[in-house]
Structure 1
Amino acid sequence: MKKLVTLALGATFALGAFAQAFPSKPITFVVPFAAGGPTDLVARQLAETMRKYIPNANIVVENAAGAGGTIGAAKVARAAPDGHTLLVWHIGMAATAGLYRKLPYKPLEDFEYVGMINDVPMTLLGSNKLNANTYRDFEAYIRTNGGKLNLAHAGLGSASHLCGLMWQHAVKLDKSMTTIAYRGTGPAMNDLIGGQVDVMCDQTTNTTSQIEGGRVKAFAVTTAKPLSKHPVLKDYPSLQEMGLKGFELTIWHGMYAPKGTPAPVLKTLNDALVKSLKDADFIKKQDELGAIVVTDGRMTPEGHKKYVADQITKLKTVIDAAGQYAD
């Protein structure tokens, strides 16, 4: 009995020592997309804030782009489970489970969930050449001309790809638009501005300045209710208001560690994350991006994991209906 107590005390001491030693080297936030995109920006702002809440932390951001985000995610899943390599990813964490026939990891099994960061609304956009100025006009125009128009997105599994799929599925178009995949949000937006493509649905972090500058037309937002407090988007209706019952899509971001990361380290990371989400400067920067910082139970590992499980089911239904899969 004495030996068992000694072993238990030794294990507890070892975990405590591990937590006290953390971090023992730079912490890397792996972003599974190229630098300069919306997720990269969120990760860099979070890294800057979390440095304040983890003593002696040096946090760097590494971009590991490719294969719809799965290359970066797989890299973190294979990393040493010591809390020094973390994944910052968006809704793709849930979407890839239905989109890819084979994944090099299991979203709900191969990661420790640290917590959710934010919700980012989406906007439905059209090029300025479209003969429509309101959502009603836009939908009527699409129903008449859908087979002749192009829908841009930033690559398979991207936020803009998922939004476009969900919207077409909800509207039940007789003739779907031709989808054109780009290697990133920037090139897709450039062609929408130039009129080479007709329609796009993307995050407010990427669209607000283009709408404000009059370079594209906005028709609706994808939140349950209008963004009444948003300085640019407050006058645009929600798709639910426009008759798409139950349509709600935000591009959330979360943080993940490799499976097996010690509980004390995960607690240190979650504590720092929660403090960051309450940090006035971080909230202000997220507001400027049009992002909504999470304040509910999804900040916790358990709450975020349950939310992702629900999202996997929801998104798989849409992806299966569209029949658009990746190898």
Structure 2
Amino acid sequence: MQKILTALGAAAMLSVSTLSALADYPERPITIVVPFAAGGPTDTVTRLVAESMSKDLGQQVVVENVGGAGGTLGAGRVAQSDPDGYTLLLHHIGMATSATLYRKLAYDTLGAFEYVGLVTEVPMTIVARKDLEPADLKGLVDYAKANKDTVTVANAGIGAASHLCGMLFMTAIGTPLVTVPYKGTGPAMTDLLGGQVDIMCDQTTNTTKQIQGGTIKAYAVTTAKRLDVLPDLPTTDEAGLPGMQVGIWHGIYAPKGTPADVTEKLSKALQVALKDENVVARFAELGTTPSPEADATPAALKAKLESEIARWKPIIEAAGQYAD
């Protein structure tokens, strides 16, 4: 009996200790891992949100770039971290597509993480080198089909947003093109600007300023409605490629086993950050908007991830572009 009472007492003390720790969370800086290089679209989004979350949480939220393998290295790093709320992951749609794209992953996509909430859904733009001949999207599709063995489509690497959008574009036009993977968005855009590659499909967070400056040619945006920041750019539906709508959504994750009270606190801080006037304004300049409060929740992110895995699985399998 004494042993039982002692065990119960120890359990009670542990419970009180845990509750106390949760009440004091966070007591030190929090790291958000971005599984891509610094300066890219996901990194830009993360730094804006991290700065605002720091104010609400009362601790600095720092960003660490752990790039490589289409985002899976950074995701794996977080999956193996202590579930204490001090190491998080901000990943985009690649979190869903990597489940099919990679034959072997160091983590179980649906089983290795807890969910904090959705951050934003960034539109994609179909762009090309400035001197590419076609004047509109219909002309681009005809040109690509007629020159499928020589037209090059740049992307930031297997699993990157530009790779996924490029696959979707080729699926939409029913024509495989020559894909040219780079080690990051920066090098891919540099070669597009220099005319070394023909086409790229990338996030507005990376293309808006180039489009506005006239340094690349823009054909369409992959949204149902035109964007305020690019009002003259037609949607894919308007431009003659109906059904090619895709947004690169971003979400925040924590390692599996992170206490629900911690993820809820992080979710609340995220919701506050997404209403921050500076975040809203900067997102608008980049052609995107913060997720609404109802989507910046654990349940909404979990549902989004599950549905997107199901959506992209047949597209990736049909393209046959797998990574080891």
When normalised by structure 2's length, the TM-score is: 0.94
Aligned to 1:273: 270
Deviation at 1:59, TM superposition (A): 1.5
Whether the aligned pair in 2 keeps the contact of 1:223 and 1:238 (CA below 8 Å) is: yes
The residue type paired with residue 88 of structure 2 is L
Aligned to 1:309: 306
Whether the aligned pair in 1 keeps the contact of 2:87 and 2:254 (CA below 8 Å) is: yes
Whether the aligned pair in 2 keeps the contact of 1:298 and 1:307 (CA below 8 Å) is: no
Whether the aligned pair in 2 keeps the contact of 1:112 and 1:261 (CA below 8 Å) is: yes
Instruction: Out of 64-73 and 133-142, give the one that drifted further.
Output: 133-142
Alignment of 1:145-160 (within 5 A): 145-160=147-162
Does 2:248 align with 1:251? yes
Aligned to 1:185: 185
Whether the aligned pair in 1 keeps the contact of 2:138 and 2:240 (CA below 8 Å) is: no
Match of 1:77 among 76, 79, 87: 79
Q: Deviations over 1:80-138 (max 9, x none)?
A: 00000000111111110010001111111100000010011010011122111111222
Aligned to 1:48: 51
Whether the aligned pair in 1 keeps the contact of 2:138 and 2:241 (CA below 8 Å) is: no
Q: Deviations over 1:125-154 (max 9, x none)?
A: 111221111112222222222222111000
The residue type paired with residue 186 of structure 2 is G
Per the alignment, in what secondary structure is the counterpart of residue 318 of structure 1?
helix
Aligned to 2:144: 142
Instruction: Out of 12-21 and 130-139, give the one that drifted further.
Output: 12-21
The residue type paired with residue 234 of structure 1 is P
Per the alignment, in what secondary structure is the counterpart of residue 315 of structure 2?
helix
Q: Deviations over 1:153-199 (max 9, x none)?
A: 000000000000001101112xx211000011111111111111111
Per the alignment, in what secondary structure is the counterpart of residue 57 of structure 2?
coil
Whether the aligned pair in 2 keeps the contact of 1:29 and 1:59 (CA below 8 Å) is: yes
Q: How many corresponding residue pairs?
A: 320
Report the CA distance shift for 1:267/1:5 in structure 2 as closer, same or farther (over 3 A).
Answer: farther
Deviation at 1:248, TM superposition (A): 1.4
Does 2:111 align with 1:130? no
Does 2:292 align with 1:289? no
Aligned to 2:200: 200
Counting aligned pairs with the same residue, the percent is 49
Cα distance in 2 between the residues matched to 1:108 and 1:298: 18
Deviation at 1:243, TM superposition (A): 4.2
Match of 1:101 among 77, 100, 103: 103
Aligned to 1:219: 219
Per the alignment, in what secondary structure is the counterpart of residue 264 of structure 1?
helix
Cα distance in 1 between the residues matched to 2:142 and 2:321: 25
Deviation at 1:245, TM superposition (A): 3.6
Instruction: Out of 257-266 and 9-18, give the one that drifted further.
Output: 9-18
Deviation at 1:43, TM superposition (A): 1.1
Deviation at 1:7, TM superposition (A): 8.2
Whether the aligned pair in 2 keeps the contact of 1:297 and 1:304 (CA below 8 Å) is: no
- Unpaired runs of at least 5, structure 2: none
Per the alignment, in what secondary structure is the counterpart of residue 257 of structure 1?
strand
Per the alignment, in what secondary structure is the counterpart of residue 292 of structure 1?
coil
When normalised by structure 1's length, the TM-score is: 0.93
Match of 1:66 among 65, 68, 78: 68
RMSD: 1.9
Whether the aligned pair in 1 keeps the contact of 2:128 and 2:198 (CA below 8 Å) is: yes
